[in-house]
Structure 1
Amino acid sequence: MTFTDEIKCIINEKRRTYQALSEQVWDYAEMHFGEVKSAELLSQALANEGFTVTRGVAGLKTGFIGSYGSGKPVIAFLGEFDALAGLSQKKDRTVHDPIVANGNGHGCGHNLLGVGSLAAAFAAKEYMIKHQLKGTVRYYGCPAEESGNGKAYMAREGCFNDVDAAFSWHPHSCNAVQHLSSNAVIEARFTFKGVSAHAAALPELGRSALDALELMNVGVNYLREHMADKARIHYAVTNSGGVSPNVVQSIAEERFLVRSPKPDEVKKLFERVVNVAKGAALMTDTKMSVQIEGGCCNLIPNTALHKVMAAFMEEIGYPKLSVKDEAFIKAIYASLGEPEKTFAMKQLNAQQKDKIGQAPLADWVFPCPEHDLFMEGSTDVSDVSWNVPTAQCVTATWAFATVPHTWQVVAQGTQDYALNAALFAAEAMACTALKAVQDPDLLKEAKRELKERLAGDVYECLIPSNVTPPTF
């Protein structure tokens, strides 16, 4: 039996356990920092497997670390389990059909993500016991990836200081290592406070917080012309001050995400956004306050680990689809819009396009890129990658061209092929981690590369030290 076959057997022995855990987290569909049931479920699974579990790490009510073994090297697997608002969807349905109107749903597949990483941790532990390998296996239960950046709090509090290598993955519509950088981000809430008044009888006595909010948005729109091409600014109004137009709104709030490729760049851009908000308050004679609620750095890829992981993915191969799988995948693909399909097809060569024409699921593995790619979005895995060599992959848990953060992702979250793809990721992560455990030169090269990429930069969390994780 080959090394990869052994890992596959270890993981497949507990397939039913992983299926039950994943489906339970899918059912819970809990939002950022409020994943109480999901965190307890996964913590108990770790305890049942013999891991020592520490709950409430880094001040995170739903953050935890499971540890097995002792000494060096220390390998970490990163798990997520938060859902998204407004994406409730019934399982086994290929049309939009919410369980609860405007309810939560796992629109990014984190029910699979957390369990896939758990399977990798369990497999690494069992292999190390069987082959009498020294070292420590850790599973990091990381809340609030979608909003709030739980891993950044963990990194800020030194939770990764003694880790030698970290591994993660993400559901996707293709199979590849995530050899890319990303935007750093600062998340903040802006609050404007004014004075209410009768909007018709005594408008001169009012000071409109809503006017200030709208002026801020106009100012930020003008700012977009004068920022770096890869930078991004998004916002959502969370409190417009009321529903009565004959009342001058005395309070208004909105949340902003400010992104740019480097931490120092995003801090400067954020300062400009704050200045726009100050100007809006000055124009309306209102008071403005800003509170940073999250943030993370840019992702640091690792060529040494990614080449090994890509090779293992190619050797293991994507799991075979059943007739039932193919039918569901085709139905989901049919529900997608033409712009999504056209955009996704542009990323493929002629042979790959032909395969998608036969069955709309990418079952091949893309090779490790020769050069770093770039992701306009952000991930709190970045803060781990600044502290320890980190490798990630994506696997095809979704029909080709499926867009993240949609009901189609939620609908696919409990399908057999989705779980099989999650366990495919687990196999690749476990094999790469165990290769690092048994090959000191690989770890040494990965650490050397991280130091070279940082080029003297020192990690600084973008979440200020006085900001504590919110609780729900």
Structure 2
Amino acid sequence: MNKHTILDWLNKNDGIFTSMAQKIWENPQIAYEEEYASELQMQTLNQAGFRITRNIGGAVTAFVAEYGSGKPIIGILGEYDALPGLSQTVSAVHNEVVPNGPGHGCGHNLLGTAGVEAVISVKEVMEAEGITGTIRYYGCPAEEVLSGKTFMAREGVFDDLDCALTWHPSSSNFVVNMSMQSMVSVKYHFKGITAHAAAAPHAGRSALDAVELMNVGANYMREHLLDGSRIHYVITNGGLAPNIVPDQASVWYYLRAATKEQVDDMHVRIEKIARGAALMTETEVSSEILAFAYETLPNDVLNGLMYENMKVAGAPHFNESELKFARELVSTVDKKIVEMSKKQYGGLIEEILPISFDNHKHLKGVSVGGSTDVGDVSWITPVGQIMTTCAPVGVQAHSWQATASYGSSIGFKGMHLAAKTMALSLYDLLMSPELIKQARQEFSKLTAGKPYVPGIPQEVTPPVAASTLV
């Protein structure tokens, strides 16, 4: 059996997985609440002969599906969480399915489904040819809050992997040779004393004042950070009424930088600012880490393999109806944003739905904005990653236009390209131990003297989905 046989199987069965992606798109659920998607995928994988382990790391929507035995052990990473407030129909006008409801504005309905599609196709080959080894699909919740894979990593489920593959929907087809940033998500809670804001202000100690002073300090700190570092915050609790000195106030921070070491340094400094704000206002402060993702470590060996297999799989054909829909979607985006998108990563993209392939070798080692908990896995085992065209150039992720595209045939075609690329690469790795050896040698050089330590404290546990509470 050769690669063309794998592609034939995928082409014959793609309708099954188009349906899965469509169903997940129609039933969007946010981080740690993805019961529909996880159950659908587990059921499909179990029926295909995979062994299922549920409730990984305390997350009820996290699971591992496994087929085969022995070495090598190769994983494919999947995701399926939606985003709040991005409900949208498949149309080129803003039209919510559910007012302010969740939607798949990052395409995770496609991301996880392609992984399921890939591992089942390779399982069929392993069974037919008697190929030894173990393949796994990792059902990973809550990527959008950057903690699902960290909780799973803390459980040790990635430790015995020889390597892993993944992908993400995008607006072009390329290998992810750039590095995504490390990031910590941390909340600060200030506690003061209530008082009548007019009659007895001297008796109060304002937790809101502490939050505002902390934000002032953080904003002054911006000038003294390494280039590319980012600070974002929102006040999540600012008090109840103007005539009451607030005794409770909270602020939520994201701190990003090129490496976890740099984020660690920022975190230490912001903790000092928080304590200083509490000291100035005679309040108390506590903090809680919600997520702490490592930067991603691209692997040249695996990325090179995926690039070659993406070319073997071949780009999808987008018909005139799809091109028309793409043009209509792009017409709703600011023209400056569209032009900037065409020039992303140093290239100039002319196609509205790109079918060309790029390996982006010039971006090796370059840190780009944005973060993902895939970074954690990439510090445990070598990870290869691609992106494929699932939305028009100019459509931005985390937008209603993205939700519309990822629920359309444009998104499904990009998903099938990703599934084919991962399946072919998975097959190559099973058949070529030398490739795994080379990938691990590169990984060992990158991580030498830097063992992975989960950034989320042991006492922090995954949130419990509201639908599971009794």
TM-score by length of 2: 0.95
Q: Which amino acid aligns with 1:365?
A: F
Q: Which amino acid aligns with 1:155?
A: A
Q: Does 2:382 match 1:389? A: yes
Asked if the contact 1:156–1:461 (Cα under 8 Å) also holds between the matched residues in 2, the reply is yes
Question: Which position in structure 1 is the counterpart of 2:304?
Answer: 307
Question: Which position in structure 2 is the counterpart of 1:363?
Answer: 355
Asked if the contact 2:258–2:367 (Cα under 8 Å) also holds between the matched residues in 1, the reply is no
Matched position secondary structure for 2:367: strand
Question: Which position in structure 2 is the counterpart of 1:198?
Answer: 196
Asked if the contact 2:146–2:372 (Cα under 8 Å) also holds between the matched residues in 1, the reply is no
Asked if the contact 1:317–1:364 (Cα under 8 Å) also holds between the matched residues in 2, the reply is no
Question: Which position in structure 2 is the counterpart of 1:410?
Answer: 403
Alignment partners' CA distance in 2, 1:95 and 1:417: 17
User: 1:138 Cα shift?
Assistant: 0.5
Q: Deviations over 1:199-223 (max 9, x none)?
A: 1111111211111111111111111
Matched position secondary structure for 2:329: helix
Q: Does 2:248 match 1:256? A: no
Alignment partners' CA distance in 1, 2:146 and 2:293: 9
Alignment partners' CA distance in 1, 2:147 and 2:4: 35
Matched position secondary structure for 2:32: coil
Aligned residue-pair number: 464
Runs of 4+ in 1 over 6 A off after TM superposition: none
Asked if the contact 2:73–2:163 (Cα under 8 Å) also holds between the matched residues in 1, the reply is yes
Question: Which position in structure 1 is the counterpart of 2:71?
Answer: 72
Alignment partners' CA distance in 1, 2:344 and 2:233: 29
Instruction: Give the 5 Å matches for 1:217-236.
Output: 217-236=215-234
Question: Which position in structure 1 is the counterpart of 2:17?
Answer: 18
Asked if the contact 1:307–1:368 (Cα under 8 Å) also holds between the matched residues in 2, the reply is no
Alignment partners' CA distance in 1, 2:131 and 2:218: 55
Matched position secondary structure for 2:145: coil
Alignment partners' CA distance in 1, 2:280 and 2:403: 44
User: 1:329 Cα shift?
Assistant: 0.8
Matched position secondary structure for 1:133: coil
TM-score by length of 1: 0.95
User: 1:226 Cα shift?
Assistant: 0.6
Alignment partners' CA distance in 2, 1:429 and 1:321: 21
Matched position secondary structure for 2:326: helix
Q: Deviations over 1:159-204 (max 9, x none)?
A: 1111111010000001011112222111111111112222111111
Matched position secondary structure for 1:88: coil
Question: Which position in structure 2 is the counterpart of 1:430?
Answer: 423
User: 1:428 Cα shift?
Assistant: 0.5
Alignment partners' CA distance in 1, 2:72 and 2:359: 28
Q: Which amino acid aligns with 2:11?
A: N
Alignment partners' CA distance in 1, 2:18 and 2:343: 34
Unaligned runs of 5+ in 1: none
Q: Does 2:455 match 1:462? A: yes
Q: Which amino acid aligns with 1:30?
A: Q
Q: Deviations over 1:254-295 (max 9, x none)?
A: 211111222222112101111111111111111111001111
Question: Which position in structure 1 is the counterpart of 2:441?
Answer: 448
Matched position secondary structure for 1:335: coil
User: 1:368 Cα shift?
Assistant: 4.7
Q: Deviations over 1:294-329 (max 9, x none)?
A: 111111111011111111112222100122211111
Alignment partners' CA distance in 2, 1:373 and 1:61: 35
Unaligned runs of 5+ in 2: 466-470
Q: Deviations over 1:209-260 (max 9, x none)?
A: 1111111111111111111112111112222222x21222221112111112
Alignment partners' CA distance in 2, 1:300 and 1:324: 39
